[in-house]
Amino acid sequence: MAWTYLLIAAVFEVVFALATNATDGFTVLGASLLTVAAAAAGIFFLGLALRSLDVGVGYTVWTGIGSVGTVIFSSVVFDEEITPAKALAFVLIIGGVLGLKLADGVSPRATTESAHLPA
C-alpha cells in the first residue's frame, strides 16, 4: 500500500508544480488554492507512504516521479520543449526510481516490518 500512497503523492506533486506556475505569483485565486491543496495532499500521502518506506527511497521516488511528470505535463499544458538531453535525463531518473523500487523489496526495514505483521 505504501507504493500506492507514494504514487498518489507524486500525482499531487505534479498538480502542485503546474498549479504554482498558473498562480502568476499567487495573484490568481483558483490556482493559488489548488496549489496549497495539492501541496497539502501530496505531503499527506507522502507521510502515509513513509510509514513503511525508508525516507531516502520514498522522498527520492516522490521527487523523481514529480519531476518527470511535471516536465511531461508542462510540455502539454504550457507548451514547454522537451529536448533530447531532457529526454535522456528522464530515462535516467525513471531508471533510478525503478532501481529504488526494486531495492526497497530487499531492504532490512521491509524484512523487519513484514516479520511483525500478524498472520
Which residues contact residue 23 at a Cβ distance below 8 angstroms, ignoring those fewer than 6 apart?
31, 32, 35
Over 80: is that where the pLDDT of 36 sits?
Answer: yes
Which residues, in sequence order, are CB contacts of 103 under 8 Å at separation 6+?
57
Residues of the domain holding 24 = 2-115
Cα–Cα dist 43/79, whole Å: 28
How confident is the model over 103-113, as pLDDT tens digits?
876 544 544 45
Question: Can you tell me whether residue 84 is helix, strand or coil?
Answer: helix
The number of distinct structural domains making up the chain is: 1
Residue 24: per-residue pLDDT: 93
CA–CA distance, 68 with 101 (Å, rounded to integer): 16
Predicted TM-score (pTM) of this structure? 0.75
Distances in Å between the Cα of 80 and the Cα atoms of 47, 54, 73 are 31, 34, 9
Per-residue cell: 5: 500512497
